[in-house]
Amino acid sequence: MEFFRKIDLKITEPELCETLTLSSLENMTQQLFVIGEQNAQEASIGGVWGEFTLTRQVIRGGLRFALKECPNGLAWTITTGLPPDTGCIVIHLTLNRKHIAQDFFEEI
C-alpha cells in the first residue's frame, strides 16, 4: 500500500534535511520518541506500534525514513523540489501489505 500527502510549504532540500533529524524527532511528533541509542542515521524509538530502529537516509530531494523491524515494512520519504510539484513537500509512505486493518489505517 502507499499513501501520498502534499504540504504547500516552500523549503529547500538542504533546509529539509537540516530540520528533519533524528535528534529533533520529539519536536516534530508526539507519536514517536527516542528511547535509547541514536546517531545521525539510526535511533531506537518507541511509539504506538512498539519499539523499533528508525533509520534516516538522505536521498535525492530529501529523506527516507524506515522502521527496520516493522513487520509491515513501514517506510516513508519526505522530499521537496522534485517534479511535478517542485514548490511543495511530498510525503510518500509505503507498506508491504495490500490490505491493513482499519484501526492501523487510521493510525497511519
- Among 20-29, 34-43, 93-102, top mean pLDDT goes to 34-43
Amino acid at 88: C
For residue range 47-80, list pLDDT tens digits in order: 888 899 999 999 999 999 999 999 889 999 999 9
What is the fold, at CATH topology level, of the domain defined by 2-107?
Alpha-D-Glucose-1,6-Bisphosphate; Chain A, domain 4 (3.30.530)
Helix, strand, coil shares, percent, the chain, to 5: 20, 45, 40
**Average pLDDT in the chain:** 90
Rounded to two decimals, the pTM is 0.89
Average pLDDT over residues 81-102: 87
Please state the φ and ψ torsions of residue 5, each to the nearest 5 degrees: -145, 135
Say which residue the cell 509505503 belongs to.
94
Sequence ranges of the domains in the chain = 2-107
Look at residue 33 and give its three-state secondary structure: strand
For residue range 2-20, list pLDDT tens digits in order: 999 999 999 999 999 999 9
Strand order in the sheet with 2-7: 2-7, 89-94, 75-80, 62-67, 50-59, 42-47, 32-38
